[in-house]
Amino acid sequence: PATLRGKGYEEFLPLYRSRRRWSDRVKELDLPLFPGYLFCRFDVHDRLLPILTTPGVISIVGAGKTPIAVPDEEIATVQAILRSGLPSRPWPCLTAGSKVLIERGPLAGIEGIALRVDKTFRLVVSVLLLQRSVAVEIERDWVRPIPNGAGPRAVPLDIKPRVLKALA
């Protein structure tokens, strides 16, 4: 990521905190929320060679040779989850379920899919292009259902982010 930044690109590598247990100790590690992927803002009409020749970059995610942008609202939602400080972790991508809007708490204004796992409520937000999701624990009384998928969205950003396939 630092190499891309040095080339003038804005990159985003979302990380989450994970506890790993070894036989003699427990250690907390920062791990990629979407292993093997790095987000980068760039103009597809500029030369792509500086990005593709960056060490660790394998390809730009897209359809054939055409890069596909990740919707701004999906990036803004992942950033809001990370800024909230709430425990989050990778989650299998879900496309079905009840869409909800967070009305209270540090994620107010965010929408996603609500789940209940082991008496804990979670909000699942997906980055559909990657077929990956992130889950964050929430309070049940923070949410309200969104009928027919209508409702407010996360605040969009300026330039369309793209996804780079990177070495894991």
CA–CA separation, 37 vs 33, rounded Å? 9
CA–CA separation, 56 vs 159, rounded Å? 23
Q: What confidence tens digit (pLDDT) does each residue in 1-58 have?
A: 688 999 999 999 999 998 888 889 889 999 999 988 999 998 888 888 999 999 989 8
CA–CA separation, 2 vs 9, rounded Å? 9
What is the percentage of the chain residues whose pLDDT exceeds 70?
82
> Which of 52 and 65 is assigned the larger pLDDT?
52
pLDDT number for residue 12: 92
CA–CA separation, 69 vs 39, rounded Å? 10
